[in-house]
Amino acid sequence: MIDILEILIVLLMMVSLQFIYLMKGNSFFWEVANLDKLDIFDLAQKANVKWSVEGDENSRFFHGMLKKKHHIFICGVSVNGDWVTELLAVEKKFLISILPSSNLSIIFRWRLKVIGFLLSDLRMLRV
């Protein structure tokens, strides 16, 4: 006949082994959960990068915007019978023809400085 003390020792060992297993399993569970969270974050970031690189280039909206931007681009202007195609010269002549010298507003001054021309240069060219 099995002694009650032996049964209690076996039960105590089983409970302690289960407790150790649960504690190890619990920490293992959290490590796996953290790794899964990092993996999901990494996959989401890769999906965003892939969509921004490949998704926009293949979309109808993206190509429509490129075509629209290309169609409204001024390639050149005719100045005294000569066709000017240099970008800065085209922009300069276009702004001179549209804006009267007295109405050069503050909004356009920063743009003129960005393209490398001063207002005094524009006024001298207009005269």
* Chain center to CA of 18: 50
Least confident residue range of 14-28, 48-62, 111-125: 111-125
pLDDT at 93: 76
39-98: pLDDT as tens digits: 777 777 777 777 666 665 567 766 777 677 666 667 777 778 888 887 777 777 777 776
pLDDT at 46: 76
Distance of alpha carbon 38 from alpha carbon 10, whole angstroms: 41
Q: Which residue has the tokens 């005719």?
A: 78
Q: How confident is the model at residue 1 (pLDDT cuts 50, 70, 90)?
A: very low
Distance of alpha carbon 89 from alpha carbon 71, whole angstroms: 20
